[in-house]
Amino acid sequence: MPEGYLGFIAGALVTLSLVPQIMRVFKLKSAREISALFTILMLLGLFLWLAYGISLRLAPVILWNVVGAVLVSMLLVAKLKFGK
């Protein structure tokens, strides 16, 4: 497998692992179990990885951190909406 694909596959697996959690939170309309601190720190980390990817022009890092930031933002919105 060419090396370039490894980053895309790894990024997809890690990033898309958030989807079942987001679906569950919105389905149950409950995010009490989700840590707000975790979600905020994860979002900040994703933005830093995105900046790193942009600075080095690493397509897999840019792509999956943009997608991850959108997904974690959705989780944060759910936490704020359903967290009580």
Q: pLDDT digit string (tens) for 20-70?
A: 999 999 999 999 999 999 999 999 999 999 999 999 999 999 999 999 999
Answer yes or no: are the C-beta atoms of 69 and 46 closer than 8 Å: yes
pTM to 2 decimals? 0.91
The structure tokens 């959108």 sit at: 70
For the chain, domains (ranges, CATH) are 3-82 (1.20.1280.290)
| Nearest-angstrom CA–CA distance, 61 and 30 | 31
